[in-house]
Amino acid sequence: MGEEVVVERAAGQVKGSEPFIELAGVEKTYRMGRLDYPALRGIDLEIGAGELVAVVGPSGSGKTTILNLVTGIDRPTAGTVTVGGRRIDLMSEEELAVWRGEHVGVVFQFFQLLPTLSALENAVLPLDFARRGSKRDRFERARRNLALVGLGDQADHLPAELSGGQQQRVAIARALAADPQLIVGDEPTGNLDSVTAAEMFELFKRLNGEGKTVLYVTHDLELAKRANRIVSIRDGAVVAA
């Protein structure tokens, strides 16, 4: 049975004439012991620059695999993955690392903050790894990003001293470090209560309003309905787009 993908577009959706993200004939097969597990079965999917897109579907449907391909964390078994006009499936691991650092911000469900570093130190990490600007400039940018997500007064707090919602805000500030064009969230609200999850979505919506392309996976259908577009996936195949 093919994985079902239903795409809904809201009125006024921003979509450029050329797709910002394009998956063409994408297949992904994982080897599990002696068996091959097909996670994606020939997906064709286009997302325009400036779109706010939610990806929904049951567990094991291929949602996270799509995100991993779009961010270059994983590679397709077949097909092509183009982001911002570049074939990222052809890049070397070193090229992908540099490309991600400059163009993509990823927000995970479980925050993945370093517990011994302050909120500010966590938010500055991507800039430190990329050695972008002076140390002073990097910390100034990280402080601005913390202020943007409403944590300007919590910069010196350790993750354990912050609520779940505050930790996720730090994770978003970290994702914004390089001012990326693309924000990707893998169940970014899955570890939050409904009120805090709604607040996180409003932050995503604000970033989208500033021109960033936002793509996120969620099990929360109510949260998904607030996106401009919903891609619904089942069994690894697109049936409508």
Q: What is the mean pLDDT of each run of 10 residues along the chain (241 residues)?
A: 42 56 96 90 94 91 92 95 96 93 89 94 89 87 93 95 93 92 91 86 92 92 89 78 46
List the CATH code of the domain at 6-232.
3.40.50.300
Q: Supply the pLDDT for residue 166.
A: 93
Q: Supply the pLDDT for residue 84.
A: 95
Q: Supply the pLDDT for residue 200.
A: 85
The answer to whether the CB of 99 falls within 8 A of the CB of 72 is yes
pTM: 0.86
Q: Supply the pLDDT for residue 228.
A: 92
Q: Supply the pLDDT for residue 2.
A: 41
Q: Supply the pLDDT for residue 239.
A: 59
- Strand ranges (E), the chain: 6-9, 19-32, 35-48, 52-56, 78-83, 86-87, 104-108, 182-186, 213-217, 229-232
Q: Supply the pLDDT for residue 91.
A: 96
Q: Supply the pLDDT for residue 4.
A: 41
Q: Supply the pLDDT for residue 38.
A: 92
Beta carbons within 10 angstroms of residue 139's beta carbon = 18
Q: Supply the pLDDT for residue 17.
A: 55
Beta carbons within 10 angstroms of residue 73's beta carbon = 16
| SS3 (DSSP) at 23 | strand
Q: Residue 218 corresponds to which tokens in the numbers above? A: 């969620």
Q: Supply the pLDDT for residue 74.
A: 94
Beta carbons within 10 angstroms of residue 78's beta carbon = 12
Q: Supply the pLDDT for residue 33.
A: 87
Backbone angles phi, psi at 124, to 5 degrees: -90, -10
